[in-house]
Amino acid sequence: MPIPDFDDLNRRAWERCNHLIHSWIINSVSEQIAQTLVFHENCIDVWLDLQERFSKVDRIRIANLRTSINNLKQGSKSVLDYFTEMKMLWEELNSHRPIPSCTCAHQCRCAAMRDARTFRLEDQ
């Protein structure tokens, strides 16, 4: 939402919400990261800062995750522990490589996206 002008009647409500969300974000990150975010006045600036920092693709991490998934063995772990570890690896890999969504004005009706999701599920 754009920042209301100083004479706008919604300005005080916007500032209250901005401070509340800013506080939530600051309290949800590590202390080290929070120290770099407290100087932003608007929570949108905080959000954009975090997006800039963490939205970069880490190809080395992706390769390491794939290696970990391929080399994961149950060994002496319980089925629950093995499944939990495998699920964590897949979820982290999926967070680095999300399946794109169609952004066309008219949503695609082809099976390509459905097939991509099916292939990912089969891999997992």
76, pLDDT greater than 90: yes
| pLDDT > 70: percent of the chain | 100
Task: Determine how many CB atoms are found less than 10 A away from the CB of residue 77.
Answer: 13
User: What does the pLDDT average to over 11-36?
Assistant: 93
pTM for this one? 0.53
For 76, the 3-state DSSP assignment is: coil
Check: CB of residue 62 under 8 Å from CB of residue 98. Answer: no
- Least confident among 32-36, 46-50, 116-120: 116-120
Between these two residues, 9 and 103, which has the higher pLDDT value?
9
Check: CB of residue 61 under 8 Å from CB of residue 70. Answer: no
Between these two residues, 83 and 57, which has the higher pLDDT value?
83
CA angle 84, 86, 91 (to 5 degrees): 90
Task: Determine how many CB atoms are found less than 10 A away from the CB of residue 111.
Answer: 9
95, pLDDT greater than 90: no
